[in-house]
A and B are shown apart, each in its own frame.
Chain A
Amino acid sequence: MSTATHKLLKGATGDWEMVIGMEIHAQVTSNAKLFSGASTEFGGEPNTHVSLVDAAMPGMLPVINEECVRQAVRTGLGLNAKINLRSVFDRKNYFYPDSPQGYQISQYKSPVVGEGEVLVELDGGRSVTIGIERLHLEQDAGKLLHDRSPTMSNVDLNRCGVALMEIVSKPDIRDAEQAKAYVTKLRSILRYLGTCDGDMEKGSLRADVNVSVRKPGGPLGTRCEIKNMNSITFIGQAIEYEARRQIEILEEGGQIEQETRLYDPNKGETRSMRSKEEAHDYRYFPDPDLLPLEFSQEFVDALKAKLPELPDQKKTRFVADFGLSAYDASVLVAERESAVFYETVLDKLANRARDGKLAANWVINELFGRLNKEGRDITGSPVNAEQLAAIIDLIGEGTISGKIAKDLFEIVWQEGGDPRALVESRGMKQVTDLSAIEKVVDDILAANPDKAAQVKDKPQSLGWFVGQVMKASGGKANPQSVNDLLKSKLGL
Chain B
Amino acid sequence: MTDLTSLTLAEARKGLADKTFTSLELTDAHLSAIEAARVLNAFVMETPDRARDMAKAVDEKIAKGEGGPLAGIPLGIKDLFATKGVRTTACSKILGNFVPTYESTVTSQLWRDGAVMLGKLNNDEFAMGSSNETSCFGPVGNPWRRDGSNTTLVPGGSSGGSASAVAALLCMGATATDTGGSIRQPAAFTATVGIKPTYGRCSRWGIVAFASSLDQAGPIARSVRDAAMLLRSMAGHDPKDTTSVDIPVPDYEAAIGKSVKGMKIGIPREYRLDGMPAEIEKLWSEGAAWLKAAGAELVEVSLPHTKYALPAYYIVAPAEASSNLARYDGVRYGLREPAKNIIELYENTRASGFGAEVKRRVMIGTYVLSAGYYDAYYLRAQKVRTLIKKDFEDCFAKGVDAILTPATPSAAFGIGEKGGADPVEMYLNDIFTVTVNMAGLPGIAVPAGKDAQGLPLGLQLIGRPFDEETLFSLGEVIEQAAGRFTPARWW
- How far, in whole Å, are A153 and B209 apart by their CA atoms in the complex? 28
Cα A97 to Cα B370 with chains together (Å): 22
Question: Which residues of B lie under 8 Å from residue A60 when comparing CB positions?
Answer: 205-206
Known A-B contacts A59-B208, A283-B366; the reply to A95 vs B242 at CB < 8 A is no
Q: Is the CB of A57 within 8 A of B346?
A: no
Determine if A100 and B331 form an interchain contact, defined as CB atoms under 8 angstroms apart.
Answer: yes
Chain B 159-214 residues near chain A, CB threshold 8 A:
204-209, 211-213
Residue pair B242, A97 in contact (C-beta under 8 Å): no
Task: Say whether A97 contacts B342, CB under 8 Å.
Answer: yes
The residue in chain A whose Cβ has the minimal distance to the Cβ of B325 is A102
Majority secondary structure, B binding face: loop
A291 x B242 contact (CB < 8 A):
yes
**Interface residues contributed by chain A, number (CB under 8 Å):** 30
Q: Are B82 and A58 in contact (CB under 8 A)?
A: yes
Q: Does A155 contact B (CB under 8 A)?
A: yes
Count residues of B near A (Cβ-Cβ below 8 Å).
43
A155 proximity list for chain B (CB < 8 A)? 331
| Contact present for A58 and B342 (CB under 8 Å) | no
| Contact of B241 with A by CB under 8 A | yes
* Inter-chain contact B323/A283, CB cutoff 8 Å: yes
**Is A320 among interface residues, defined by CB-CB distance under 8 A?**
no
A52 to B84 CA separation, bound complex (whole angstroms): 13
* Chain A positions within 8 Å of B308 at CB level: none
Decide if A63 touches B242 in the complex (CB within 8 Å). yes
Residues of B within 8 A of A61 (CB): 204-205, 240-242
Of B101, B204, B320, B323, the contact of A52 (CB 8 Å cutoff):
B101
A307 within 8 A of B: no
Tell me if A231 is interfacial: C-beta within 8 Å of chain B. no
Interface: B21 (CB within 8 A)? no
A121-155 interface (Cβ within 8 A of B): 153, 155
Centre residue among A57, A96, A97, A101 by max chain B CB count within 10 A: A57
Contact of A103 among B100, B213, B326, B333 (CB under 8 A): B326
Q: Tell me which residues across on chain B come within 8 A of A95, comparing CB atoms.
A: 326, 329, 346
B206: which A residues are within 8 A, CB to CB?
Answer: 59-60
In contact, B102 and A63 (Cβ under 8 angstroms): no
CB distance from A274 to the nearest CB of B (A): 14
Chain B residue at minimum C-beta to C-beta distance from A289: B212
CB distance from B338 to the nearest CB of A (A): 12
Q: Which listed residue (B81, B88, B370) contacts A281, Cβ 8 A?
A: B370
Contacts of A97 in B (CB 8 A): 329, 331, 342
| C-alpha gap A62/B327 in the complex (Å) | 14
- Please, which residues of chain A bring their CB within 8 A of the CB of B239? 63
In the complex, the answer to whether B326 meets A93 with C-beta atoms within 8 Å is yes
Which residues of B have CB within 8 Å of A57? 82, 100, 102, 333
- A203 and B241 alpha carbons, distance in the complex (Å): 31
Query: How far does the Cβ of A412 sit from chain B's closest Cβ, in whole Å?
Result: 54
Q: List CB contacts (< 8 Å) of A51-78 with chain B.
A: 52, 55-64
Given contacts A95-B346, A283-B369, contact A56 B323 (CB under 8 A): no
Q: For the complex, is B314 an interface residue (Cβ under 8 Å from A)?
A: no
For residue A322, CB closer than 8 A to chain B, the reply is no
Q: Tell me the residues in window 341-363 of chain A with beta carbons closer than 8 Å to chain B beta carbons.
A: none
Looking at the assembled complex, report how far the CB atom of B313 sits from the nearest CB atom of chain A, in whole angstroms. Answer: 14
- Decide yes or no: A52 and B102 within 8 Å by CB, A285-B319, A285-B323 being known contacts: yes
B376 proximal to A (CB < 8 A): no
Task: Check A91 for interface membership: any CB of B closer than 8 A.
Answer: yes
- Flag whether B378 is at the interface (Cβ < 8 A): yes
In Å, the complex CA distance between A171 and B207 comes to 45
A85 contacts the other chain (CB 8 A) = no
Query: Which residues of A lie under 8 Å from residue B90 when comparing CB positions?
Result: 58
B209 / chain A contacts, CB cutoff of 8 Å: 58-59, 289
A58 close to B327 (CB less than 8 A): yes
Q: Digit string of A36-53 for contact with B (CB within 8 Å is 1, else 0)?
A: 000000000000000010
A254 on the B face (CB < 8 A)? no
Within 8 A of A (CB), among B211-248: 211-213, 239-243
Distance (Å) between the CB of B326 and the closest chain A CB? 2
Chain A minimum-CB-distance residue to B334 = A58
Binary contact readout B64-97 vs A (1 if CB under 8 angstroms, 0 otherwise): 0000000000000000011000001010000100
Report the minimal beta-carbon distance from B214 to chain A, rounded to whole angstroms. 8
B271 at the interface (CB under 8 A from A): no
What mask results when residues 77 to 120 of chain A are scored 1 for a CB within 8 Å of chain B, else 0?
00000000000000101011100111100000000000000000
Check A288 for interface membership: any CB of B closer than 8 A.
yes
CA distance A288 to B216 in the complex (A): 13
A52 to B332 CA separation, bound complex (whole angstroms): 11
With an 8 A cutoff between CB atoms, is B98 at the interface? yes
* Residues of the B chain whose Cβ atoms lie less than 8 Å from the Cβ of A262: none
Identity of the chain B residue whose Cβ is nearest the Cβ of A283 in the assembled complex: B369
Selected contact of A59 from candidates B207, B371, B378, CB within 8 Å:
B207
In the bound assembly, the distance between CA atoms of A58 and B104 in angstroms comes to: 10
Q: Would you give 25 A-B contacts (Cβ < 8 Å), ordered by A?
A: A52-B102, A55-B332, A56-B332, A58-B82, A58-B95, A58-B98, A58-B208, A59-B104, A59-B208, A60-B206, A61-B242, A93-B323, A95-B326, A96-B342, A100-B327, A102-B323, A155-B331, A283-B322, A283-B366, A283-B370, A285-B319, A285-B369, A285-B374, A289-B212, A289-B242
Chain B residues within 8 Å of A, Cβ to Cβ? 81-82, 88, 90, 95, 98, 100-102, 104, 204-209, 211-213, 239-243, 319-320, 322-323, 325-327, 329, 331-333, 342, 346, 366, 369-371, 374, 378
Q: Assuming A97-B329, A153-B342, A288-B211, what are 8 further A-B pairs, CB within 8 angstroms?
A: A63-B241, A63-B242, A100-B331, A100-B332, A103-B326, A283-B369, A283-B370, A289-B243
